[in-house]
Chain A
Amino acid sequence: EVQIVESGGDLVRPGGSLRLSCAASAFTFINYNMNWFRRAPGKGLEWVAYIGSASAAIYYADSVKGRFTVSRDNAKNSMFLQMKSLRAEDTAFYYCARENTYCTSDVCGGALDYWGLGTLVTVSS
């Protein structure tokens, strides 16, 4: 059964840094693009970062660009999110999700088909 497990969340002071990890199992990790998302208290789901299967393509939300860095280690079936210059508004549950491509007879598109339970990042003094 596909499993995705995030870890590394913690309480950190504004301006601090934190590194999140995402461990994947029961699928061929190198074949899939991966994403980070977050959900702040009282807010909706927000995309944070995308990394292609071979790390050739990497994209970030404007809200984290220049502060967060996504990476992956395909040999260890893992993805990471290095966060620096953290702000109070970065407080959220952070989720890792697998992106798959599906096709019907007339359309192809991406689907975020497996997610982890999330890890909580709290930025507060």
Chain B
Amino acid sequence: QSVLTQPPSASGTPGQRVTISCSGITSNIGGDSVNWFQHLPGTAPKLLIFLNNQRPSGVPARFSGSKSGTSASLAINGLQSEDEADYFCAIWDDSLNAWVFGGGTKLTVL
């Protein structure tokens, strides 16, 4: 059972917009900033979003993040086949002294 809640799967066709949600509680998402990662097994996890909505250099602008209250979202505009991967939200929970993750969302590009 993950501390943060994500839908297990999402899908879209090339060019579409897809959003992935991540919900928590006041003591985690409500008080800390969210990271989003893209991961394909056998590769290094890749940071897509930090501080809720900031993109590291090199991450395409079609990836965006937002947070409201105890929920966060990752949006992918102009979906591409190479976006097919697992996506995870995570925060540092000060009350637990731990990084906590969502269970992950498997994105399929149809």
B-to-A contact residues, CB < 8 Å:
2, 32-33, 35, 37, 39, 41-47, 50-52, 54, 56, 86, 88, 90, 92, 97-104
Binds B, one of A22-30, A66-74, A115-123: A115-123
Closest chain B residue to A106 by CB distance? B51
| Cβ-neighbour of A97 out of B42, B45, B54, B104 (below 8 A) | B45
The reply to whether A109 and B99 contact each other, CB–CB distance below 8 Å, is no
Please classify the interface of chain A as helix (H, G, I), strand (E, B), loop, or mixed, using the class held by over half of its residues.
strand
- The interface on chain A, measured as residues whose beta carbon lies within 8 A of the other chain's beta carbons, has a size of 29
Contact flags A35-48 to B (C-beta < 8 A → 1, else 0): 10101000011110
Contact flags A99-110 to B (C-beta < 8 A → 1, else 0): 000111001111
Residues of B within 8 A of A45 (CB): 37, 39, 45, 88, 90, 101, 104
